[in-house]
Amino acid sequence: MSFEDIKLLLVEKFGQDVIDGEETTGIQPALLIKPDKIADVCLELRDNPKTHFDFLSCLSGVDHGVADGRFGVVYNLSSIPYHLQLTLKVSKPNNRDENELPSFPSVTSVYRTADWHEREAYDMVGIFFEGHPDLRRILLPDDWDGFPLRKDYTTAEKYYKGIQID
């Protein structure tokens, strides 16, 4: 099944507005999905016998920068039986107020491995995943301030509990 076939399948199932756009200039093309539809799209791509994207190989949180004011998530899906790969992306604006984290629906109900991937994106980029069963830090201590992979992150101290961190 080709990239265009997958795109057509999604449009037929969810309507034209499910896809915000596409990126076809890179090594692997990507579909830009409406953020509120990502879990439904992943479920369809996993359960549809024509695609059977049964493996979420990677999920990455993305900070598009202070000037852009957007955060996003990249989903790398694989269909093991069909030897297919697909990249899905979601993004939305956020004003960088730490009291209101950028938020996207969790896909843990579709892919169990998303549990760990989403926790890492939360821990490092500060992306909140609605419906995640146990969203908490996974790499950094619970009392760590900030999100180290954000473009505007600055280390507050040179030491954390007596350990040099800068």
Q: Identify whether the C-beta of residue 155 lies closer than 8 Å to the C-beta of residue 165.
A: yes
All domains in the chain, ordered by first residue: 3-164 (3.30.460.80)
The pTM of this model reads 0.93
Residue 27 in tokens:
């090594």
Residue 66 in tokens:
């202070």
Distance between CA atoms of 38 and 19, rounded to whole angstroms? 10
Question: Tens digit of pLDDT for each residue in 8-27?
Answer: 999 999 999 999 999 998 88
pLDDT at 166 over 70: no
Distance between CA atoms of 61 and 64, rounded to whole angstroms? 10
Question: Tens digit of pLDDT for each residue in 39-68?
Answer: 999 999 999 999 999 999 999 999 999 999
Q: Identify whether the C-beta of residue 128 lies closer than 8 Å to the C-beta of residue 135.
A: yes
